[in-house]
Amino acid sequence: MIPWKEIDRAEVPGNGSEVTLLVRDREFSIRTAGTELMNSRIHGSEAALAELACSRLDVKSGWQILIGGLGMGYTLAAALEQSGPDAQILVSELIPAVVRWNREYLGHLAGMPLADPRVRVEEEDVVKIIGKRKTAWDAILLDVDNGPAGLTRKANDRLYGKIGLKACFDALRPGGILAVWSCAADEAFTRRLKGCGFKAEIVSVRARKSGKGSRHTIWIGIKL
């Protein structure tokens, strides 16, 4: 078997941990503390995050979409594919190295989505961006730290706890969609989502586009 080769590593702002980019033949992996966060062969559910959200939007044009977490660009690419020419998509990525990796090493995997003129990137905590404006977004797509029960749970409580979900609700336009990706189901999160005013839908999706692989969970919260 071909061994993994480390390309680069970088510190995660604010918590001192590191993320590492590795390659094996044409396969890429991003990991932290030995745990794989994402893999270029397994991205069906990341694309589904955007597809499920965009398919439920009542507004047909001029979408304003916020994506929390760039990853390898698959969610962004799917959002662009679903969006019209007048859409605007802002990607919030906390780790500057992840943005650089997409530009230098990973962009071809998802079709160079960062080169699309509809896209802007801010190297900022998505929590701060969500809190800046009310009724600003048609959709907010969150793929941060493996979901509500992620690896840095204490930090993510600001996003996936009641305060964070209320901020998402306020930041969405009426009829707007909050879509959240998770590596696993979480009944407590479903209750919080409903308690913050969202009509909640839970969708189980396969990790791979082929319909194979482990199951991931996507919550769709609709602001009525």
pLDDT tens across 171-223, in order? 999 999 999 999 999 999 999 999 999 999 999 999 987 778 899 999 999 99
Q: With beta carbons less than 8 A apart as the criterion, state whether 120 and 90 touch.
A: yes
Query: Domain extents for the chain?
Result: 42-223
Amino acid symbol at 136: A
| Spatial distance between the Cα atoms of 122 and 140, rounded to a whole number of angstroms | 15
Do residues 32 and 13 lie in contact, with contact meaning Cβ atoms separated by under 8 Å?
no
Report the pLDDT value the prediction gives residue 149, as an integer from 0 to 100: 74
Which of 206, 68, 28 minimizes the C-alpha distance to 150? 68
pLDDT, tens digit only, all 224 positions of the chain = 899 999 999 999 987 889 999 999 999 999 998 889 999 999 999 999 999 999 999 998 999 999 999 999 999 999 999 999 999 999 999 999 999 999 999 999 999 999 999 999 999 999 999 999 999 999 999 999 888 875 444 667 789 999 999 999 999 999 999 999 999 999 999 999 999 999 999 999 999 877 788 999 999 999 98
The tokens describing 13, both together, are: 């702002």
pLDDT tens across 154-167, in order?
667 789 999 999 99
Distances (CA, A) of 28 to 41, 58, 130: 8, 36, 30
Tell me which of 3.40.50.150, 3.10.580.10, 3.40.50.970, 3.30.2350.10 is the CATH number of domain 42-223: 3.40.50.150
pTM of the entire predicted model: 0.95
